[in-house]
Amino acid sequence: MRRAAEMGQRRRQLKQWSGIMKGMIGKLIIAAIVLVICTFSLFTSRSTIRSTTRTEINTEDLWQTAPSDGWRPSSAPRSDWPPPPSKTNGYLRVRCNGGLNQQRTAICNAVLAARIMNATLVLPELDANSFWHDDSGFQGIYDVEHFIRTLRYDVRIVESVPEIHKNGKTKKMKTFQMNPPRDAPISWYTTTALEKMKEHGAIYLTPFSHRLAEEIDNAEYQRLRCRVNYHALRFKRHIMELSHAIVNRLRAQGRFMAIHLRFEMDMLSFAGCFDIFSPKEQKELKEYREKNFAPKKLVYDERRAIGKCPLTPEEVGLVLRAMGFDNSTRIYLAAGDLYGGERFMKPFRSLFPHLENHSTVDTSGQLKKNTRGMLGSAVDYMVCLLADIFMPTYDGPSNFANNLLGHRLYYGFRTIIRPDRKALAPIFIDREKGRSAGFEEAVRSVMAKTSFGGPHKRISPESFYTNSWPECFCQMSAKNPANKCPPENNMETLHSRLQSEGLSDFSATESNLTVSKR
């Protein structure tokens, strides 16, 4: 009996162990299946990631304009836009400081400020600063008659403050001088500035650079800025003729790319990028910085790692070569004096030997007499605007590059190659340390993520002058009514309103507010 009981107990234990073993085997099988599935999924996802991040760039496509997605430039008013009244609140004078392109932005802001205050704008003054040594003034650079005529629906403009007659004497009206706050809101102009204008009859805003907020929640005001920037501000005839002559000479040999090579003393000093230079050059850069910029501790390695240094000429060449451009590519360089001279240019020239600048292409000799003046900057601006491809190497505080990016976008989404310096920095740093495997593929992966000049959302700190989409663009077949193109007779309507109030000084021309088709 006892033995039978023990045998029964052993059988029950064997059954229990058998059940446990079956359960464990089952769980192990399930775990194995799950592991196989997860491994397969992980492999698949990694393969997918590789296939989506490994992108190729077709350089032939870049010689064409970027895809527009049905958008086209349009800065004509789309809502009720009354003409400037015959009686205004006074006269607005401004002095636009900085270089040519900083002044260009200031002129756009001045026109908008005059519209906001219902003021008569006195032709903006251009500062003949110590860098340019150029006193050409507005009349020497821009077509004044075209400027006034194009903006006749928006503001009243006069060439100078009027004279007043008092006690038998004739003299210029005095203007009350004011220093507007930086990025002042519209409310400052409709209160503080307007109050002084009504009190004195005329105000003088100086200095006038970045003195009106860029982001304004009024699409019509933003479109007025575009009308000024892309339609009213036209260089004088001799500048336009010289620019087109240079472009025609370049095009006679085929398509060409323009590069704004911002490897100059002022920008390198501003950025704090000293370590790649000789001790003597470093000392010169640091002295320039102490003299011209606010004190700030700048560590080169840190600045370089976050993309705050301008690309060197060699880095520019390596980016282009990685993208697929070969040594037959023709390049127009828009740049001042490159710091460090030929030793920095030599690697770039070895990659791309077909280099030109306005001095080598200009056969008239006009630019040699004025290499640092506004004429040279204006010609470079026009050549870069008309080039098949434009590449800025440093678009931080560079007004030249930022304005051109916006103008080329408005001019029909003309291709832009805009290096992401922050994303490229670790790739170049690895290369310098001898870790060059996969260098070109890594560069291509970064560059493929850029917009190449197509419509894209403006995200701070990108400037309105760099990207005026969507305010200054429209769609013929828009789903959103706000994006619909204005009627074709929009300009005729505005002209009729101007005539009905007896304010028309010039004959209307439809071309003033339309972009010429390519």
Same structural domain for residues 314 and 409? Answer: yes
CA angle (444, 445, 449) in 5-degree steps:
105
Dist. CA 319–CA 440, nearest whole Å? 8
Same structural domain for residues 399 and 335? Answer: yes
- Is 73 part of any domain? no
Closest to 183 (Cα-Cα) out of 466, 464, 483: 464
Sign of CA dihedral 383, 387, 393, 399: positive
- Is 502 part of any domain? no
- pLDDT, position 382: 95
Same structural domain for residues 175 and 323? Answer: no
**173 three-state secondary structure:** coil
Same structural domain for residues 284 and 376? Answer: yes
- pLDDT tens digits for range 96-133: 988 889 999 999 999 999 999 999 999 999 986 544 45
Q: What pTM was computed for the model? A: 0.82
- pLDDT tens digits for range 157-173: 999 998 887 776 777 78
Same structural domain for residues 227 and 107? Answer: yes
**Residue 15, Cα to own-chain centre: how many angstroms?**
79
Boundary residue ending a domain (439, 456, 475): 475
- Is 379 part of any domain? yes
> Residues 450, 417: contact at Cβ < 8 Å?
yes
Same structural domain for residues 144 and 291? Answer: no
Nearby residues of 280 by Cβ (< 8 Å), 6 or more positions away: none
Closest to 311 (Cα-Cα) out of 445, 444, 422: 422
CA angle (129, 131, 136) in 5-degree steps:
55
Boundary residue ending a domain (183, 206, 231): 231
**Residue 172 is part of which domain span?**
91-231
Same structural domain for residues 115 and 245? Answer: no
Amino acid sitting at position 32: A
- Is 482 part of any domain? no
**Number of residues in the chain:** 518
Domain count, the chain: 2
Boundary residue ending a domain (198, 231, 264): 231
Same structural domain for residues 221 and 302? Answer: no
- pLDDT, position 492: 63
**241 three-state secondary structure:** helix
Q: What average pLDDT does the structure give for the chain?
A: 84
Supply the CATH number for residue 394's domain.
Answer: 3.40.50
Query: What is the per-residue DSSP string for 140-162?
Result: HHB-HHHHHHHTTTT--EESSPP
Same structural domain for residues 211 and 242? Answer: no
- Is 505 part of any domain? no
- Is 274 part of any domain? yes
- Is 517 part of any domain? no
Same structural domain for residues 316 and 447? Answer: yes
- pLDDT tens digits for range 137-162: 899 999 999 999 999 999 999 999 98
Peptide bond before residue 461 is cis, with ω within 30 degrees of 0: yes
CB atoms within 10 A of CB 363: 9
Q: Is the pLDDT at 491 greater than 70, yes or no? A: no
Dist. CA 501–CA 324, nearest whole Å? 59
- Is 516 part of any domain? no
Same structural domain for residues 218 and 326? Answer: no
Same structural domain for residues 151 and 290? Answer: no
**Which is it for strands 120-122 and 157-158: parallel, antiparallel or unpaired?**
parallel
